[in-house]
Structure 1
Amino acid sequence: MSRRDTLVHLFAGGCGGTVGAILTCPLEVVKTRLQSSTMTLYISEVQLSAVNGAGVARVAPPGPLHCLKLILEREGPRSLFRGLGPNLVGVAPSRAIYFAAYSTAKEKLNSVLEPDSTQVHMVSAGLAGFTAITATNPIWLIKTRLQLDARNRGEKRMSALECVRRVYRTDGARGFYRGMSASYAGISETVIHFVIYESIKRRLLESRSSGNVDEEDDASRDVSDFAGMMLAAATSKTCATTIAYPHEVIRTRLREEGSRYRSFFQTLGTVFREEGSGALYRGLSTHLVRQIPNTAIMMCTYELVVYLLDG
């Protein structure tokens, strides 16, 4: 891969991640709140805080719409964009690193293994995910802390800089890497996603090449191609997310401030024992509603930018 090709993939990946993050930020906040053990409920003006699984009363967690309503009523619309700053700071380099690493690894492996095989896509996606997670975990930890910082209207909100200081003061440099083990476990989602995506994409391209494209103009073919890419991205991400979702809940728990959760398996066992298996899928519906358009937008933007820059 030439230097120009690498820069194209870096820029395209960054653009795709940024556009998707902005458009789906409110759903990201709702999802994170639902995953947290510090979910706060308001019932008849009485606040019941269930902290780390122990609270005044055992209350079923609210659904996505109820959670959204609580945020709007108690904190205001601005809270739906909590953590957007770190998200925008992190999403471009994260996606850029990911796509560049994925493309580079795939090219290298194609010369060793069967070109464009399932093994190539799996290993490439895994290496790309590991690289991006290691490089950007501190940014995502700050984002999660800000999203969980629930404060009523009028109260001073914690800034990203203040959050950084609190993390360092409490846990030191190691504190910025909390939840990284769960993110590594989440590489399985990325691997499944790209294997399915590349398979559907290849079938779409084969279908197009075998069809009679002379009867269609260039504009119609372009629209059809990008619609197909969006469908491929949405389908592959839905399957992967549903299979690997529990790591998302565990990661959020590990990143909570003052959390008693210490490691991936300790958190998994604690959540399962105290809250049941259903807690490992809390926020899944919101996550799917967010991830499907986010991934479709991201992948379509990525493919579009690469297409435009490659001429």
Structure 2
Amino acid sequence: MPVEEFVAGWVSGALGLILGHPFDTIKVRLQSQDKYRGVLDCATQIYRHESILGFFKGMSFPIASIAVVNSVLFGVYSNVLLALTSTTYQERRANPPSYADIFIAGCAGGFVQAYCLAPFDLIKVRLQNQTEPRVRRGNLRPRYLGPVHCMTSIIREEGPQRLLRGAGTLMLRDTPTLGIYFVTYEWICRQYTPKDQNPSSFIVLVAGGIAGINSWVTATPLDVIKCRMQMDGMKGQVYRGVLDCMVSSIQREGPRVFFKGLAINSARAFPVNAITFLSYEYFLRWWG
């Protein structure tokens, strides 16, 4: 099993995470809280009440964990593609795999990633949704003092099984979405790159950015449901499952609720995935 794909996934995931976390914080707030009028209002309130540090809540944990999950995604994708086509990364430009094989490998990576990601994502979402300042002021004090305290609090108050809250929704979101993600990236690279050559940096950036936007257009409805289910434990049991969460959300806010955060997801997706794919490609070229 080639290990360089896993290493490249970790490096690219870490770089993308640092760039995209402030956008992700705004997205999570918009999807799980209804007190904001839009992206600009949410960003303004975060900065006014929590300073610039508010945009980076929950990032220390993902930089060590979700980057590893990205490593799992790219590693599983590449190794499943290797099993399906018997071609390594260095051989794929001369003997490109079919789009069906790419889609299957992407779906496999998304499925495995979802269950690795679930506990880390739950902790990240809980920390991002804390509106209290990090430093105690008067009677204001954050419920969670950090990622480890958040994890132990969830286990103590809600049970260890709650760390997997939202895993099923993540699986439904990521399995087809990441198949589409890799197919979109590969299709754009092939369209604008001469046969047997590696795509240029510009093409990689554009293809990665468009692949990211395309995947989030598909993923956002289930991402909204996932965020709301993950927030249940902070206010008691609210939803009985995915379907109940969907029906309750529509009844309260209408069908438009499923597109909350789409604008910020798209704005975040282009630069994050452009950098992710560029660093991934160049790391593997250097390794080869």
Report the TM-score, using the length of structure 2 for normalisation: 0.88
Partner of 1:217: none
Work out whether 1:118 is the aligned partner of 2:99. yes
Structure 2 residues not aligned, in runs of 5+: 87-94
User: Which deviates more, 145-154 or 96-105?
Assistant: 145-154
CA deviation after TM superposition for structure 1 residue 62, in Å: 1.4
In 2: Cα distance, 1:69 partner to 1:300 partner: 31
In 2: Cα distance, 1:240 partner to 1:161 partner: 31
Partner of 2:166: 179
**Structure 1 counterpart SS, 2:3:** helix
Partner of 1:43: none
CA deviation after TM superposition for structure 1 residue 261, in Å: 2.1
Deviation per residue, 1:250-289 (Å, 9 max, x gap)? 1100100235123222211111122111111111111111
- Candidates 9, 27, 39, aligned match of 1:64: 39
Partner of 1:88: 63
1:76/1:153 contact within 8 Å kept: no
CA separation of 1:121 and 1:208: change in aligned 2, threshold 3 A: closer
Partner of 1:301: 279
Residue identity over aligned pairs, in percent, reads 25
Partner of 1:272: 250
User: Which deviates more, 65-74 or 266-275?
Assistant: 266-275
CA deviation after TM superposition for structure 1 residue 115, in Å: 6.6
2:239/2:245 contact within 8 Å kept: yes
2:109/2:178 contact within 8 Å kept: no
**Structure 2 counterpart SS, 1:205:** coil
- Candidates 9, 12, 19, aligned match of 2:8: 12
CA separation of 1:115 and 1:306: change in aligned 2, threshold 3 A: closer
2:249/2:257 contact within 8 Å kept: yes
Partner of 2:153: 166
CA deviation after TM superposition for structure 1 residue 244, in Å: 2.8
Letter in 1 for 2:205: M
User: Which deviates more, 10-19 or 151-160?
Assistant: 151-160
User: Which deviates more, 237-246 or 138-147?
Assistant: 237-246
In 1: Cα distance, 2:194 partner to 2:279 partner: 22
Structure 1 residues not aligned, in runs of 5+: 41-60, 210-221
1:9/1:306 contact within 8 Å kept: yes
2:118/2:164 contact within 8 Å kept: yes
Larger gyration radius, structure 1 or structure 2 = 1
1:74/1:153 contact within 8 Å kept: no
1:226/1:300 contact within 8 Å kept: yes
- Candidates 206, 217, 221, aligned match of 1:246: 221
CA deviation after TM superposition for structure 1 residue 207, in Å: 5.7
Matches within 5 A, 1:23-38: 23-36=19-32, 38=33
Report the TM-score, using the length of structure 1 for normalisation: 0.82
Matches within 5 A, 1:125-136: 125-136=106-117
CA deviation after TM superposition for structure 1 residue 237, in Å: 2.1
CA deviation after TM superposition for structure 1 residue 100, in Å: 0.9
Deviation per residue, 1:26-67 (Å, 9 max, x gap)? 11111100000x344xxxxxxxxxxxxxxxxxxxx4111110
Partner of 1:291: 269
Letter in 2 for 1:103: S
- Candidates 138, 142, 166, aligned match of 2:119: 138
User: Which deviates more, 301-310 or 129-138?
Assistant: 129-138
CA deviation after TM superposition for structure 1 residue 153, in Å: 6.4
CA deviation after TM superposition for structure 1 residue 243, in Å: 2.6
In 1: Cα distance, 2:196 partner to 2:287 partner: 22
